[in-house]
Structure 1
Amino acid sequence: MNANDTPLLAGTRQAQVLRWRDAQRSEVLDWLADEVPVALEFNGISHAVMLATPTDLEDFALGFALSEGILDRPDDLFDCETDVCAEGLTVRLEVSSRSFARLKDHRRTLAGRTGCGICGTESLAQVLRDVPAVQGAALRLHAAAIDHAMESMRARQLLGRATGATHGAAWCAANGDVILLREDVGRHNALDKLIGAMVRVGVDARTGFIVVTSRASVEMVQKAATAGAPLLAAVSAPTFLALEAAQRAGMTLVGLARQGDLVAYAHPQRLLFDREN
């Protein structure tokens, strides 16, 4: 993509770089993914600071709060606004007194690296937290739908195509059509943004699946299960801890989903292959 021929894309910045290509040296403008500190503040109390791409921040805040168990349901969030400061951005959330009381009992400070997940967690129980069993037992989808979803997601990743530096997370219909897509420099952030968007749109999580452009860590599984997705498919392989979490949650976990190949690590019964009806 030629930075000089493309209008400014939200979540990117331009820089003059020296490029060496086909034995030719040239100075060009290039696209870089934007990355800023984003503080999440609940009822006036700072809870987490993440390095994130500054797009879809209301989706990010809502998805983070739900996937981390701070909110039980979307209507526990009363208000959300973003303020700009010299150091970065602050997203201020007003939440129910019940949610805030629970947050104070289980404080985590995530002074984050890019896409920081469980950094700063205070106890083992918070890392290996229980998540509700996913529903969607009736969901059956063809393995080809996952391949279609991965290809469609790559084609729609505007930030990823422009910068080569962002992860994507997409919500897909059972046939593999991408319905919602979010991107971020952090894989956890991209998934949180997607979860927030799913809630805002009113997606029935039992009817489709989530695909991500990263590995499937245990926290990615926990977040997807909390969102109610019956299947999570990742470009890279999961960890063993992620496999165990998916088994407990009743979630189908797929990894190494690339160019027609995939590996089903947990609950493969939701997958149909070419010779199956």
Structure 2
Amino acid sequence: MSKQDNGGTEEGMRSLAVVRHHDGKSLPDLDRVAEETPVALVFKMMATPLDLERLAVGFALSEGIVGRRAEIFDVEAGFVTGGAEVRLEIAQPAFLALKGRRRSLEGRSGCGVCGIESLALLDLAPGPMAKPARPVIAEAAAIARAAAELPAHQRLMRATGCAHAAAWCGRGGEVKAVFEDVGRHNALDKLIGWLALEGMDPGDGFAFMSSRASYELARKCARAGIPLLATISAPTSLAVDIARRSGVALASFCRHNGFVEYTA
């Protein structure tokens, strides 16, 4: 996209009125200066328009756009014609790395492969977590409590029948926060963004999802440092593989009276 600056000079420069001082003389003149301007980085996503700042921060963290919360300087959400817009101001090294990834990052409410130019660009190795996950078998009572408490917090699901939920649960299984979205990945990103914005320790609880356990959810938990992912429905084989390699404990088919442990 071309841009014509106010001074009529080449793109990327501005022509400014200056006063040159030399040998005791002062003369008005024009000078060219390199242009520096804020650039908004906007991701196009399909999502439920709730908790948008948390969604953007969680997405940036869980997708590796930034490595830590401190690399996000500002986040601002607003509604525009036909949708909503969230603008992130991120550190320059993170922005340069993002350009080098050559990924369109056009997120949808469906699969996590959307928007990737090549299967070779899929991030299937998030690396081991800094802290090993605690044994899932010790969490039986906590998982049962989370399964029992979650439905009462699913306001959007009760009203529409069309929303996934990502719950943040304490060590005892008490549901502390719930984020809903038409996309399960978006719901988890909102949870991750909330943890980051609130400065909470992701190792001090676990994520409970009302969906199946797809590979993206396991990868996002690994990158966010969430030690346990519990889901109501089944996992995929790739989700199990990623959870095992990264050290995320994975429990699925979670009910009030039991679950299946996949990472023992």
Using the size of structure 2 for normalisation, the TM-score is 0.80
CA distance in 1, matches of 2:211, 2:75: 28
Matched residue of 1:170: which SS? Answer: strand
Matched residue of 1:105: which SS? Answer: helix
What is residue 184 of structure 1 aligned with on the other side?
Answer: 181
2:261 aligned with 1:257, yes or no? no
Say if 1:197 and 1:78 are closer, same or farther in 2 by CA, change over 3 A: same
Gaps of 5+ in 2: 1-37
2:152 aligned with 1:168, yes or no? no
2:45 aligned with 1:44, yes or no? no
Q: Which amino acid aligns with 1:131?
A: P
Runs of 4+ with >4 A deviation: none
Contact 1:134 1:228 (8 Å CA) reproduced: yes
2:156 aligned with 1:159, yes or no? yes
- How many residues in Structure 1 have an aligned counterpart in Structure 2? 225
Say if 1:134 and 1:265 are closer, same or farther in 2 by CA, change over 3 A: same
Cα root mean square deviation, aligned? 1.8
Say if 1:136 and 1:150 are closer, same or farther in 2 by CA, change over 3 A: farther
What is residue 225 of structure 2 aligned with on the other side?
Answer: 228
Gaps of 5+ in 1: 1-41, 269-277
CA distance in 1, matches of 2:109, 2:133: 37
Percent same amino acid at aligned positions?
A: 47
- Deviation string 1:4-35 (CA, Å, 9 cap, x unpaired) is xxxxxxxxxxxxxxxxxxxxxxxxxxxxxxxx
Select the structure that is richer in strand. Answer: 1
2:198 aligned with 1:201, yes or no? yes
CA distance in 2, matches of 1:132, 1:96: 23
What is residue 91 of structure 1 aligned with on the other side?
Answer: 86
- Deviation string 1:141-182 (CA, Å, 9 cap, x unpaired) is 331211211221211111112221111001111110112211
Contact 1:229 1:251 (8 Å CA) reproduced: yes
Q: Which amino acid aligns with 1:44?
A: A
What is residue 116 of structure 2 aligned with on the other side?
Answer: 121
Q: Given the alignment, which residue of 201, 209, 212 partners 1:212? A: 209
The structure having more radius of gyration, on CA atoms, is 2
What is residue 59 of structure 1 aligned with on the other side?
Answer: 54
What is residue 21 of structure 1 aligned with on the other side?
Answer: none
Say if 1:117 and 1:232 are closer, same or farther in 2 by CA, change over 3 A: same
